[in-house]
Structure 1
Amino acid sequence: MTLQIYLVFILTFIIYIIGTLAYSARIVGVKTGRIAVASAVFNVFVLIQRTANTIQAPLLGKTVDNSINTGQTSSLLYIFRWIIFSITLATIAGSILMPTFIRVFNELVVSFSVYRSLPKLIFHAFSKSGIEQFRNSISIPKKENLYELRNFSKTPRKVMLLNMIAFSVSSVSILSALYAACLSPNLRTTCSTLSSVINSISTIFMVIFIDPYLSMVTDDVIRGDCTELEFNRCIIFIVVGLIMGSILAQFMLVPASKLIVVIAKLL
């Protein structure tokens, strides 16, 4: 494997950890009552995660070209499956780190009310006191939160299913388009450009169905129509949906690539 491929592994892992940890900001917003600030933090992290995976295409471009020239598409598929597996590992790692980052985001939200400046807040985060606060915030998932996974009957199943599908499409969009370019080299340009369209559809899907639902549940907590425990359970199952979505992406990779080839031929 080349240096670019290892770089894709590392960046993909970091990006999807950030995307998973972003949901910690939702919980912090409910705990602190600073919904607007927490939502702003959430939107920034989610925007990074949903758009940064486009770096996969240019970094993998040379590898795709070599596979087309040599006809060794099986090795490219092997690499792509490992990239998707890194997404699964990142979402699992993010879910384990959530208790720690809930405390970290709590400090950031409170500190933002003091500094009222993002550059000053970032400077404070990397200061001696900021690093010490991070050390004190290190925590592990509590057993009672894990027990909430048993309460599947109280879970918004439709939202969880939609979230899982949208995340799987987002995870595989770039890779499936690149693999489609290998399956149909004469349409490689058309196949590659379709990746941004698919990724945009996935993003719109999450913006229309998932984000509004979380905002609605957040408002229910503020009004007292929903408890913090029920809200935390919702976030837990949303994150579980991310993990399941990344696993589903493994099965979607090849069919999605073939579908992209069909669409490219129709255009």
Structure 2
Amino acid sequence: MTYNILIISLLTFLIHFVGTIAYAVRIVGIRTGKNAISWAMFNIISLFARVATTFQAPLLAKTIENNIHLGKVNDVSDFRIIIFAATLATCVGAFAIPTAHRFLQKGVESLYHHQSMTKVIWKIFRLKTFFHFWKSLTWPKLSNLSFFLKYRDIPLKIMFLQAIVNAVLTVSVLSCLYAGYLNPSLRSTTASMTGVANSVAVILSLVFLDPNMAILTDRVLAGKKTQAYFRKYFVFVVFSRLIGTILGQLLLIPIAHFVIYIAENLYV
């Protein structure tokens, strides 16, 4: 593993870890009743992860160029390592959600009180915040695993769709860059498509993932669904995100070939 791949893997880990614990803000919205503020904080945290994704492309593109110059072509191992980092981050993030939910609840309350995200960010660097984080540390309850035995009222089609969308989110940029390995003559074209691929992945997330969670949150707040059901649904959402990163290993090369097809037929 080269130094660049290590940095990219760490960056990928951070992106998917932040993306996973961001779901904890949804729980905070239910617990506090401050759904709009929680939604705003969720968007800020998610935006951080999505912006960080843009740093993947130039670092990985440079590694690809170096490998091609060295005669290494179609080397998929580096990409497998990066996707594995996403899977590992999702697992770690899932275990960190209870801690994140307790810690972020204080942030939502602070944002509601101060009415300024800038003040909330400044408070993060206080020693008091560190002690609050320490007190928030907790492990997930093993009883949550029993939810997998009670899946009959869970919309499995939606969970499957979420897994597919998360798989595309995981490998959209990576597939564009790997296409440069498969067809070096189109390397510049496929690399330029990373922005488009990332935008498409974000749009899929906004269209197919976020509305379902938002609707369920409003139903819980309206008393049409219980918090127990929300927690169960939430467990399946995180699990589908994990499955999506694993499916990314399978979709990496097919999407790369699709990118090459587009580059050959549309960019003339």
The TM-score, its normalising length taken from structure 2, stands at 0.95
Return 246-255 or 185-194, whichever deviates more: 185-194
Matching residue of 2:12: 12
- Listed as ranges, the matches of 1:140-159 within 5 Å are 140-159=139-158
Please state if 1:189 is matched with 2:188.
yes
Contact kept in structure 1, 2:61 and 2:191, CA below 8 Å: no
Structure-to-structure mapping, 1:1-267, within 5 angstroms: 1-74=1-74, 76-267=75-266
Which is helix-richer, 1 or 2?
1
Secondary structure, aligned partner of 2:225: coil
In 2, Cα distance between equivalents of 1:58 and 1:86: 18
Q: CA deviation at 1:22?
A: 0.5
**Cα distance in 1 for residues equivalent to 2:235 and 2:67:** 40
The Cα of 1:200 is off from its aligned counterpart by 1.5
Which has the higher mean CA deviation after the structures are superposed, 86-95 or 62-71? 62-71
Give aligned-pair identity as a percent: 38
Report how far residue 158 of structure 1 moved. 1.9
Secondary structure of the corresponding residue to residue 138 of structure 2: coil
Alpha carbons 1:67, 1:182 under 8 Å: kept: no
8 Å Cα contact 1:180/1:261 also seen in 2 = yes
Q: Return 5+ residue gaps in structure 2 as ranges.
A: none
CA distance in 2, matches of 1:19, 1:4: 22
Aligned length: 266
CA shift at 1:155, angstroms?
1.4
Give the Cα separation in 2 of the matches to 1:5 and 1:106.
35
Q: C-alpha displacement at 1:188, in angstroms? A: 1.1
Residue 245 of structure 1, CA deviation: 0.3
Larger displacement relative to structure 2 (149-158 or 95-104): 149-158
Residue deviations 1:203-242, cap 9 Å, x none?
1111112111111111101110000111111111111111
Measured against aligned partners, the alpha-carbon deviations of 1:41-67 in whole angstroms (never above 9, x if no partner) come to 111112222332121110112211122
In the superposition, the TM-score normalised over structure 1's length comes to: 0.95
Q: Quote the Cα distance in structure 2 between the aligned partners of 1:49 and 1:189.
A: 25
